[in-house]
Amino acid sequence: MNKHTTCDIFCNVIDNYGDIGVSWRLARQLANENSLAVRLWVDDLGSFARLCPEADVTSKVQQCRGVEVCLWIKNFPEVQPADLVIEAFGCALPESYVVAMAAQQKSAWINLEYLSAEDWVHGCHGLPSPHSRLPLTKYFFFPGFTKQTGGLLLERGLLARRDTFQNDVAQQRGFWQSIGMEMPSAETLKISLFGYENTALRGLLDAWSGGSQPMLCLVPEGRILPQVGQYFGDAASRVGKAYSQGNLQVRVLPFVEQERYDELLWACDVNFVRGEDSCVRAQWAGKPFVWQIYPQHDAVHWQKLQAFLNLYEASLSTAARQAVQGLWQAWNNAGADGETTSTDSGQAWSAFAAARDELNRHAQNWGQQLVKNNLALNLLDFCQKIGKIRAFKIEGQQT
Ligand code: TRH
């Protein structure tokens, strides 16, 4: 494979960081591990720059970490369509680009869908969707957890880097210093907390501050932060603030570039994550985690959450399964006007903490189970199968 094989990824940022998070991760992987010439078209450079701080938000075209990043503007320029065209999450491609694809007849056109563990995905992954007017076919590509799906994004060598980090005290100390902290004592339970607004937070913070074990909670700047501040009577919480109560210490961290977020997950004992991409990263971290799913209006996210739980919990003991269900439900039942009470989340935490030994072992095994199903490699393989991109030679995955 070489840089003659081109790829355009289109990303329309709706809100939060998931759309650009996934697109940017895939773009880097295809460029740096599979040697494709990748252009990432994104319509919100401000969001992109949070994940890649060296990006220039005023620059319409720039090179970032091996990827050409282009501002996707309404008046779309005339460009040559790529061999592989990925529209992230069904964002509609510019009409002129689609027409050019039809004229050229050489692109593999993929709609990269949202991640879901629901069964219906098996029947939809890889399905063709012929264009209503033009001689073009788009293919649905679904990330997922089983062999019948497109798998998950996983960079080459990620798990080896994680293991090295987790076995190397000097690297860990370096991480803590980089966030302006001393390495916590061995008995301190370290938690990262990335989430949306959540009324279940108070119960958790009560449980952590009133418990017998020292707890350190690291909160990346974001939507849950005002509530954390409120709990400690601070109406102006921001990066760098530190709070403590009982056995709990809290530190507010800056939002870090995407690669460094992994280190935070690796350094903590339990990770609270949200949306899509951070949830996958927590699974690669090999630690117990709690997922706050992106809430949808018609409550379909409940089915999505349960579908994942059904897979994730299948090999757990009854007690550990109940502990995971209990905490995940308490954490998700409580949207901005949710029903979870403080007692629910506090009690659910106690059961979860009691199951931690088993959950630790499970988290390691779960990650190992998923390793072989690599999204970028599956995607290239799929394109070869649909016969468009003959130049692809798939390299074996090394973790
Ligand atoms: O930001 P999100 O809530 O994104 C959501 C979901 O993807 C959801 O499915 C989608 O429909 C909605 O957006 C529009 O959560 P997610 O997916 O975890 O994305 C966060 C990204 O931010 C992820 O790539 C990790 C990254 N990140 C950093 O780079 N640095 C940080 O400090 C933190 C906390 C996160």
Count of CB atoms situated within 10 Å of the CB of 265 = 21
CATH of the domain at 181: 3.40.50.2000
- Tell me the CA–centroid distance for residue 187 and ligand 1, in Å: 30
Q: Is the CB of 274 under 6 A from ligand 1?
A: yes
C-alpha 65/C-alpha 49 separation (Å) is 13
Which of the four pLDDT bands, split at 50, 70 and 90, describes residue 397?
Answer: very low
C-alpha 282/C-alpha 152 separation (Å) is 12
Residues 102 and 184 in one domain: no
Q: What is the pLDDT of residues 345-396, one digit of tens each?
A: 999 999 999 999 999 999 999 999 999 999 999 999 999 999 877 655 555 4
Q: Residue 367 in 3-state DSSP?
A: helix
Q: What is the pLDDT of residue 359?
A: 98
Residues 326 and 255 in one domain: yes
C-alpha 52/C-alpha 55 separation (Å) is 6
Q: What is the pLDDT of residue 9?
A: 98
Residue 1 in domain: no
Indicate which residue of 113, 262, 276, 277 is catalytic: 276
Q: Is the CB of 275 under 6 A from ligand 1?
A: yes
Q: Is the CB of 47 under 6 A from ligand 1?
A: no
- Tell which residue, 81, 84, 70, has the closest CA to residue 30: 84
For the chain, the maximum distance between any two Cα atoms, rounded to a whole number of angstroms, is 68
Cβ atoms of residues 120 and 303 within 8 Å: no
Residues 135 and 252 in one domain: no
Residue 396 in domain: no
Residues 142 and 247 in one domain: no
- Tell me the CA–centroid distance for residue 174 and ligand 1, in Å: 25
C-alpha 165/C-alpha 46 separation (Å) is 31
Which of the four pLDDT bands, split at 50, 70 and 90, describes residue 339?
Answer: low
Residue 121 in domain: yes
Residues 207 and 272 in one domain: yes
Q: What is the pLDDT of residues 133-151, one digit of tens each?
A: 999 999 999 999 999 999 9
Residues 78 and 208 in one domain: no
Closest protein CA for atom 8 of ligand 1: 275
Residues 114 and 181 in one domain: no
Read off the pLDDT of each residue in 49-61 and give the average, rounded to a whole number: 98
Provide the domain limits for residue 381. Answer: 6-153+372-385
Residue 218 DSSP label = E
Q: Is the CB of 17 under 6 A from ligand 1?
A: yes
Transcribe 223-282 into DSSP letters.
Answer: TTHHHHHHHTT-TT--TT-EEEETTEEEEEEPPPPHHHHHHHHHH-SEEEEETTHHHHHH
Q: Is the CB of 220 under 6 A from ligand 1?
A: yes
Residue 356 in domain: yes
Q: What is the pLDDT of residue 343?
A: 64
Residues 240 and 251 in one domain: yes
19: annotated active-site residue: yes
Pocket test for ligand 1, best of 64, 115, 257, 278 (most atoms within 8 A of CB): 278
Residues 170 and 124 in one domain: no
Q: Is the CB of 255 under 6 A from ligand 1?
A: yes
C-alpha 328/C-alpha 279 separation (Å) is 13
| Domain count for the chain | 2
C-alpha 283/C-alpha 210 separation (Å) is 29
Q: Residue 290 in 3-state DSSP?
A: strand
Indicate which residue of 8, 19, 43, 313 is catalytic: 19
Residue 397 in domain: no
Residues 270 and 149 in one domain: no
Which of the four pLDDT bands, split at 50, 70 and 90, describes residue 73?
Answer: very high
Residues 41 and 131 in one domain: yes
Q: What is the pLDDT of residue 2?
A: 52
Residues 221 and 145 in one domain: no
Residue 348 in domain: yes
Q: Is the CB of 16 under 6 A from ligand 1?
A: yes
Residue 354 in domain: yes
Q: What is the pLDDT of residues 158-210, one digit of tens each?
A: 999 999 999 999 999 999 999 999 999 999 999 999 999 999 999 999 999 99
Q: What is the pLDDT of residue 387?
A: 85
- Tell me the CA–centroid distance for residue 275 and ligand 1, in Å: 6
Ligand 1 atom with minimal separation from the 278 CA: 18
Ligand 1 atom with minimal separation from the 257 CA: 29
Ligand 1 atom with minimal separation from the 21 CA: 24
| pLDDT surpasses 80 at 1 | no
Q: Residues 92, 95, 96, CA angle at the centre, nearest 5°? A: 140
Stated pTM of the model: 0.95
If you average pLDDT over every residue of the chain, what do you get? 94
358: annotated active-site residue: no
- Tell me the CA–centroid distance for residue 15 and ligand 1, in Å: 9
Residue 265 in domain: yes
Centroid of chain to Cα 126: 22
| pLDDT surpasses 70 at 49 | yes
Closest protein CA for atom 22 of ligand 1: 17
